[in-house]
Structure 1
Amino acid sequence: MGTPLSSREAQAAEVVDRLYEQYPEPEISLDFSNRLELLVAVVLSAQCTDERVNEVTAELFEEYRSAEDYAEASEEQLAEDIYGITFHNNKGGYLKGIGEMLVEEHDGEVPDTMSALTDLPGVGRKTANVVLQHGHEVVEGIVVDTHVQRISRRLGLTEEERPETIEQDLMDIVPEEEWRDLTHLLISHGRETCTARNPSCADCTLADICPSEKGDADVDLASGEAW
């Protein structure tokens, strides 16, 4: 038997309240100054740390300032310019394809709908959610990265494994006005305390309400997809 919905709603509310106390200003950690930079940064951040992405994009954004710049560059040049990012060859192709589609179909601008964003190369629902939330101030869902996957399962907020179904479970129990912040609260907690391996349960503000801390089987999703 899974946790009843009402119990999960109460659990989610307590989790959010406590994490707000610990992380009062939850925010995205990628550096960007416009929607295009945000889109590129999020695409590059898949299975790569935000710190590394910020190091690479500091120079990349000086050279590539428009969708046309990405469209006109070769995949090889783009891959070279993002060397050090995981899967840089594949992502170089994504950036060129994104540039071409933005120019051809969106007048060089980053679109503001889930369907248009997910049509872009290398952009799934998770990436699209980030761009909508932080680029367009549109909240359609909850961004489910590896931290959100891991911690929401450890806390008993979901029993699902796939990001899309985890997202739906969380949307059912968390008020819409907290969807955006929830991601960053859980990411902060995942980085600082509830790590994939050897979480610091003794120092965790959620320890007394966490089923995993109380001795239930732990969940390790360390190999899951990053955003």
Structure 2
Amino acid sequence: MSKERERRIRARKIVAYLKKAYPKPKSELKYRTPFQFLVAVVMSAQCTDKAVNRVTATLFKKYKKPSRFADAQPRAFERELSSIPFFRNKAKHIIAAAKIVSHKYNDRLPRTAKDLQRLPGVGYKTAHVVLGELYDIWEGIPTDTHVKRFAYRFDLSDHRDLKKISHDLERIIPKKNWKYVNNGLIRYGRYVCPARPHDCLAHPLTKLWSPAVKRWHKA
């Protein structure tokens, strides 16, 4: 059996578990408007959702529409984001993206990955997370640190680059199941199989492919 075929079979079993365990996968980031969710996803890069939610609990009371973010004073906005990593760059990108969405799209988020990725601070992962969460549109599989880790653990990709991992997963997983991968593996990684070395032989996904026990990912 070819390596590609083995990966497809393994991926099918993993997705079957994720569909059963997390039938309606949603982000744990808190938001009330579409642009707020985009902001939260941008903020979440190399930062926990809990830390982002602590900041946005106050931030999103003040900023709701893109036009409101666009009018933010850069230094003051930086201070509001200062408890998260890379807050200066994130603040700059959020304000710049808000100006584009406000002026070009009349305060409405574009609904294609191509258009979203034209916004400052929005890459492949962020664009597809936003489309999936807000509109249930799955043009791709977003890969974050959790997805990257399990793609390695279960030998689903030979790459370390996030976008290349996404494309590998998109090739071996039917499009109808793309929606279960990112949020499902995020929850599994947070609450069942964390990144630190531990005994995970009894974990549900490990039972599907025992060699994963010894494949600890090194980023």
Task: Verify same fold: TM over 0.5.
Answer: yes
1:57-115: per-residue Cα shift (whole Å, max 9, x none)?
11111101211111111111111112211111111111111111112211121111112
Conserved? CA contact 2:197–2:216, under 8 Å? no
Amino acid at match of 1:44: M
Amino acid at match of 1:65: K
5 Å matches for 1:156-195? 156-195=155-194
Instruction: Give, in angstroms, the shift of residue 3 of structure 1.
Output: 5.9
- 2:14, 2:102 → 1: CA distance? 43
Q: TM-score, normalised by structure 2?
A: 0.92
Residues 210, 28 of structure 1: alpha-carbon distance in 2 compared, 3 angstrom cutoff: farther
Conserved? CA contact 1:45–1:53, under 8 Å? yes
Instruction: Give, in angstroms, the shift of residue 143 of structure 1.
Output: 0.8
Which residue does the alignment assign to 2:104?
105
1:31-56: per-residue Cα shift (whole Å, max 9, x none)?
11221111111011111100111111
Conserved? CA contact 1:190–1:196, under 8 Å? yes
- 2:22, 2:115 → 1: CA distance? 33
SS of 1:51's equivalent in the other structure is: helix
SS of 1:8's equivalent in the other structure is: helix
Which residue does the alignment assign to 2:80?
81
Instruction: Give, in angstroms, the shift of residue 24 of structure 1.
Output: 4.3
Which residue does the alignment assign to 1:49?
48
Q: TM-score, normalised by structure 1?
A: 0.89
Amino acid at match of 2:57: A
Conserved? CA contact 1:78–1:95, under 8 Å? no
Greater displacement, 127-136 / 142-151: 127-136
- 1:111, 1:171 → 2: CA distance? 23
Residues 156, 175 of structure 1: alpha-carbon distance in 2 compared, 3 angstrom cutoff: same
Which residue does the alignment assign to 2:133?
134
SS of 1:27's equivalent in the other structure is: coil
Greater displacement, 15-24 / 73-82: 15-24
Q: CA RMSD in A?
A: 1.8
Amino acid at match of 1:80: R
1:125-173: per-residue Cα shift (whole Å, max 9, x none)?
1000011111222110001000000111110111111111111111111
1:177-200: per-residue Cα shift (whole Å, max 9, x none)?
111111111111211233222144
SS of 1:108's equivalent in the other structure is: coil
Amino acid at match of 1:52: A
Q: Which structure 1 segments of 5+ residues have no match?
A: 222-227
Amino acid at match of 1:186: L
Q: Which structure 2 segments of 5+ residues have no match?
A: none
SS of 1:40's equivalent in the other structure is: helix
The sequence identity of aligned pairs, in percent, is 33
Amino acid at match of 1:75: P
Which residue does the alignment assign to 2:93?
94
SS of 2:64's equivalent in the other structure is: coil
